Structure 1
């Protein structure tokens, strides 16, 4: 990390005050593995889920002993959390409630359309979930087949209807830039179903995935066209783009994911789960930790503390993390607040990259609020690399 002379600033504020308010729980089990997937996922084997739930109890107890919590949001991601059987998911939620509490504002379950029934949707609502993030990906059968999805378009439509009828807020995931995909009808179909939040992600070919081994590629022109056309269509339909990949009607944004983008603290529970933790070292702002995958996570003794290696976050990395996350959002980053929280005069320390990206039209500044432009969102990795390199 580069050294720089201290600037005269008011005393640095802590990154957050009080208990941790957000919890991410990773459920790694899936009915099948999609060819584009790069997450820690696996199909279930005999006894594996029971061992997972036993260890989850131990980890939750350890987290509760080490961190004060007053949860606003809980998010079950994966994998496919809705792939758990009803009694398994009930036990998981009981574990969370017993040791860490439950979200007062929002509790999200990631859902595969093929796992939904009217009865199961009502069961999930009874467990305390009020929001479902549904892996629709497309409403075109040919596109779904190419993506290796196990559901068809009608199953996806039916799943959304059943979840909505059970009283859950529904977010639909959509993959864009797939060759031959009817993007306009995909978006129109989700809107017609009454979905009030859409997460639209460009198909990305990650190394080591089946798509990568098969030589599947995505043309940059197709990426850009999908990126821009999605924004155009959803904007015209009244969906505000509040983050690069996320669109919502008024009041329907994801409270949990917004905590990530605001660089808040959150606990990570389960194999492969990441967390952003308060640090007990007064010289540090936080620590980042990612749990090992299932085999090593199951073998860990949580009586000895957290699993995985901690990555210390000092003041300068706190700034770049906040920029990395905050510039993804429509709101952007307040430079005065970030300077106070970090103890670094951000405008002075990063004067070079700020000026270069403002002149290039990739960033815009209104008073102390720094935002990415539409072009800046498309080239955000380049913008952020400029800040990291200083």
Structure 2
């Protein structure tokens, strides 16, 4: 065992959830809904109340802001301005990076300039494919021409642009999707395997993704993007040098961040302003609480100020969470740094698990660094489950 945990009490990252979409994609299981009269106005009013509460509770010095959804760019110009104004007034603005998730069908040169004027400098664009039959299968409302025009407009407007792709879609020309997206000038690609989640339209239709197709997409994406000058710095994320997502790296490195909006999740320090411990409602944890995870309720309950889920995180859970997220990174987890933050000797506590996973070729130990191998990435849930059950 080591001494006390060393968790930064100042929160440097903010996620804002915008739940509104023009339509619901058949694969989507996020908290999203179509807009109706009065809902956006009520959302913006409640957002300001929650932002004020967060500001009064936690010590803040934001490096990154990420506005996701849903479809944040579906908000009208005056609505996205109101959202940005609320964030700035109560919480500040990211010094390093400010990302807006964007649907290709919502982009015009004037709107891109408006978003830049509001302070957004990074755009995460839901391209998903540049093949019209694939887009129709995925239920997307834009076509390939709109996606190309949107990315070109955003790059030309000075955004650092990340393009999302979905892989393992039946009939998808993956190579041309990847090459086409890179040719548009993006500096970052997020490539996610099509996953059929319970309760989605695809699940009701009986859509299936085979393991062979999943693995082919997983491996071919890395082969091609690497050849095109992109480094795979996380399981699903690739970037040109210097184009990595600073905000998402906060998640993968186990840092604290605020969650603002309905359905938003946050990872919070256990202490608030002035370093005073914060109460954890209903907590029965006997060991010291290092951080808390809070998940807001969905829109209608959130509008009524209903309490969300609060989960106290002790040292053991903090470590296993950090391993689950950190082993997604190519650089892996720095066990010395994690031990300092958790207040326990991680390498000693999990020595048997680490030796076993290294012998199986799923992990590599290089001094203080613990990394997953390509095979370990493929079965990462299995790898982490052994730490959970240790």
Calculate the TM-score normalised by the size of structure 2: 0.95
1:269 deviation in Å? 0.3
- 1:14 paired to 2:19: no
Cα separation, 2, equivalents of 1:352 and 1:141: 50
1:121 paired residue number? 112
1:227 deviation in Å? 0.1
1:210-225 equivalences in 2 (<5 Å): 210-225=201-216
1:365 deviation in Å? 0.6
- 1:343 paired to 2:357: no
1:14 deviation in Å? 1.5
SS at match of 2:226: helix
SS at match of 1:62: helix
Cα separation, 2, equivalents of 1:91 and 1:340: 40
Cα separation, 1, equivalents of 2:336 and 2:120: 37
2:153 paired residue number? 162
Equivalent residue in structure 2 for 1:287, among 281, 288, 292:
292
Cα separation, 2, equivalents of 1:145 and 1:165: 27
- 1:263 paired to 2:254: yes
2:310 paired residue number? 310
Cα separation, 2, equivalents of 1:28 and 1:98: 22
Equivalent residue in structure 2 for 1:97, among 73, 82, 88:
88
2:77 paired residue number? 86
1:4 paired residue number? none
Cα separation, 2, equivalents of 1:12 and 1:286: 13
In structure 1, list runs of 5 or more residues that go unmatched: 1-6, 302-306
1:352 deviation in Å? 2.2
Cα separation, 2, equivalents of 1:191 and 1:376: 28
Cα separation, 2, equivalents of 1:348 and 1:84: 50
Aligned length: 376
SS at match of 2:233: strand
Q: Is the 8 A contact 2:5 2:290 kept in 1?
A: no
Cα separation, 2, equivalents of 1:152 and 1:117: 15
- 1:276 paired to 2:233: no
SS at match of 1:251: coil
Q: Is the 8 A contact 2:6 2:343 kept in 1?
A: no
- 1:62 paired to 2:62: no
SS at match of 2:370: strand
2:36 paired residue number? 45
Greater shift in the superposed pair: 243-252 or 337-346: 337-346
1:342 deviation in Å? 1.3
- 1:356 paired to 2:356: yes
1:3 paired residue number? none
1:337 deviation in Å? 1.7
1:341 deviation in Å? 1.7
Offset from partner CA, 1:138-175 (integer Å, 9 cap, x none):
00001000000000000000000111111111000000
Offset from partner CA, 1:343-362 (integer Å, 9 cap, x none):
22212211222111100100
1:378 paired residue number? 378
Question: RMSD in angstroms over aligned alpha carbons?
Answer: 1.0
Cα separation, 2, equivalents of 1:152 and 1:132: 19
1:304 paired residue number? none
Q: Is the 8 A contact 2:262 2:299 kept in 1?
A: yes
In structure 2, list runs of 5 or more residues that go unmatched: 272-276, 279-287
Equivalent residue in structure 1 for 2:302, among 297, 300, 308:
297
Q: Is the 8 A contact 2:14 2:62 kept in 1?
A: yes
2:282 paired residue number? none
